[in-house]
Amino acid sequence: MDFAWSEEQEALRRSVTQFAQNELTSDVVTEDQAQEFSWDGWRKCARFGIQGMPAPGEYGGGDADILTMVCALEALGYGCRNAGLVFSLNAHLWGAVMPLAMFGSDEQKRKYLPRLVSGDLMGGRAFAAARSGAAESGSASLAENIRAERTSDGWVLSGAGSYVANSNIADLVVIEAATDDGPTALVVEKGMPGVEPGSTAERMGLRTSPAGSLSFANCALPDANRLGAVGSGGAILKAAGEWEGICVLAAEIGMMQRQFETSDRYAAERRQFGQPIAKFPAIAEKIARMESRLETSRLVLYKAAWLKKQGRSAERESAIARSHVTEAAVQTCRDALQIHGGYGYMTEYQIERDLRDAISLKVFSN
């Protein structure tokens, strides 16, 4: 296994990093407090090509493979401090773009993909909830909560998904509904009669990425909105989820790289008792552990992406990467906060927000 990026990937990595650092510079502190989505950032990412990077070239996409997406999203997570925007981009890519690119009919691809790729349409990502009364992670099947009854010319939906990334701002969402013939994937468009978005949920982290419930009250869909064969919904969302599970973590590794560099630099500059705090064993150990977690996170994630690119099963390796990277990201943010002392606890230094966002991603990635 060769862990070196190709010349093209290295160029993309540099380009994405420079773009994010120069263009995605809105006031994230204010946006986080107001739970405000950055439409300016969304439009800039669309012009750069993020929204359609893995989509087929014939629809305006970049034909990027999964390793190239890992390279690009790691750079985006490093250069962009707005984790909510990055999460919304991932929801768009893996909740709408890739399901349609992999399983859509020619008609569906022509109808949706060019506008999804250009950013004129935004996709959402629907997560499941159990009927026990408490929301669970996205590992459960959406079909436990949403029912589709067949009609003469299509389907009628009823039920609810408890958590939809991009919720009330998404133009379309691919959902999995229970039918008599098994879980089936359906494309639901914003504004269809019977589609009822809920209010934006108050959250600990990822506050710049709108999220809320999505309910269906006798929502009539034509059969043209069915994605793939009847009964194949679980397989469709699982296939797209394999990309998602790897690529979301890539952005986390980019954030960890930024936190490591920031903390290393601060420890070298901050002086106490006549010397840089980096000379203190406790601080030096934290810096070393941050770098160690960063490198091991790359190893497990790159292996999962490499296997996926080879067409081999990466389910086990992806699970290992999810467990390791999400925990490593939280611990890295905690170490960064402690290295910065009281400054790390202050909102303006943006470390405490990275910690909140990392905890949120740990919830939604497992």
Looking at the fold, whether 52 and 63 belong to one and the same domain comes out as yes
Residue 142 has pLDDT above 70, yes or no: no
The residue-averaged pLDDT of 159-181 equals: 89
Report the alpha-carbon angle 75-242-190, nearest 5.
85
What's the CATH code of the domain at 129? 2.40.110.10
Collapsing DSSP to helix, strand or coil, 314 comes out as coil
State residue 145's pLDDT score: 84
Return the half-sphere exposure (C-beta side, CA atoms, 13 A cut-off) of residue 169: 20
Whether 214 and 278 map to the same domain: the answer is no
Q: How confident is the model at residue 139 (pLDDT cuts 50, 70, 90)?
A: very low
pLDDT higher than 60, residue 303:
yes
Shared domain for 249 and 162, answered yes or no, is no
Q: What is the DSSP string of 42-102?
A: HHHHHHHTGGGTTS-GGGT-----HHHHHHHHHHHHHH---HHHHHHHHHHIIIIIHHHHH
Q: Are residues 139 and 178 in the same domain?
A: yes
In a domain, 255, yes or no: yes
Confidence label for 141 from pLDDT (cuts 50, 70 and 90): low
Write the burial class of residue 7 (CB in 10 Å: 0-12 exposed, 13-18 middle, 19+ buried). Answer: exposed
- pLDDT band at residue 143 under the 50/70/90 scheme: low
Lowest mean pLDDT among 56-70, 138-152, 292-306: 138-152
pLDDT at 162: 66
pTM above 0.75, yes or no: yes
Residue 355 placed within a domain: yes
Among all chains, which residue has been given the structure tokens 């993020």? 50
Q: pLDDT digits over 315-330, tens only?
A: 999 999 999 999 999 9
Question: Rounded to a whole number, what is the distance in angstroms from the first to the last CA of the chain?
Answer: 27
242 shares a domain with 347: yes
The per-residue pLDDT for range 199-254, each reduced to its tens digit, is 777 889 999 999 888 889 999 999 999 999 999 999 998 899 899 999 999 999 99
Residue 2 lies in a domain: no
Gap between the Cα atoms of 333 and 352, Å rounded: 8
d(CA 166, CA 140): 19
Are residues 307 and 279 part of one domain?
yes
CA distances from 50 to 93, 108, 119, 209, 363 (A): 9, 21, 9, 16, 25
Across the range 281-285, mean pLDDT stands at 96
Assess whether pLDDT exceeds 90 at residue 137: no
Question: Is 349 inside a domain boundary?
Answer: yes
With respect to residue 87, please indicate whether it lies within any of the assigned structural domains. yes
Q: Catalytic residue at 244?
A: yes
What pLDDT is stored for residue 129 in this prediction?
45
Confidence at 3, pLDDT banded by 50, 70, 90: confident
Q: What is the pLDDT of residue 197?
A: 82
- From the CA atom positions of the chain, what is the Rg in Å? 21
> What is the model's pLDDT at position 135?
36
- Are 149 and 119 in a shared domain? no
Last residue of one domain, picked from the residues 231, 255, 281: 231
Helices (H), the chain: 7-23, 28-34, 39-48, 66-79, 83-92, 98-103, 106-118, 233-269, 281-309, 315-339, 342-345, 351-364
Range in 121-135, 162-176, 291-305 with the lowest mean pLDDT? 121-135
Residues 233 and 174: beta-carbon distance below 8 Å: no
Q: Do 225 and 249 reside in the same domain of the chain?
A: no
CB 236 within 8 A of CB 103: yes
CATH at residue 103: 1.10.540.10
Bridge partners, 125 (sequence order): 165
State mean pLDDT over 184-193.
94
Structurally, the chain folds into a number of domains equal to: 3
In this structure, the strands spanning 226-227 and 211-222 are unpaired
Residue 1 lies in a domain: no
Which one of 31, 176, 242, 244 is the catalytic residue? 244
Choosing from 123, 154, 175, the residue where a domain stops is 123
Give the pLDDT band of residue 130 (cuts 50, 70, 90): very low
Q: Give the tens place of pLDDT for each residue, 17-68.
A: 999 999 999 999 999 999 999 999 999 999 999 999 999 999 999 999 999 9
| Same domain as 271, residue 166 | no
Last residue of a domain, one of 69, 97, 123: 123
Assigned domain for 291 exists: yes
What's the confidence (pLDDT) of residue 1?
64
Listed residue (264, 259, 288, 296) closest to 277, CA to CA: 264
Query: Rounded to an integer, what distance in angstroms lies between the CA atom of residue 223 and that of residue 237?
Result: 18
State whether 43 and 68 are in the same domain: yes
Residue 97 and residue 81 share a domain: yes
One domain, residues 301 and 268 = yes
- Position of tokens 């399983």? 103
The domain that contains 306 carries what CATH number? 1.20.140.10
Residue of 190, 188, 186 lying closest to 143 (CA atoms):
186
At 144 the pLDDT is 65
92 burial level (CB within 10 Å; 0-12, 13-18, 19+)? buried
**221: its two tokens:** 């869909």
Spatial distance between the Cα atoms of 192 and 91, rounded to a whole number of angstroms: 21
Question: Cα torsion for 241, 182, 139, 124, to the nearest 10°?
Answer: 50
Distance CA 330, CA 324 (A): 10
In angstroms, rounded to a whole number, what is the distance separating the alpha carbons of residues 208 and 328? 23
Domain range for 56: 7-123
Instruction: Using a pLDDT cut of 70, give the percent of the chain over it.
Output: 94
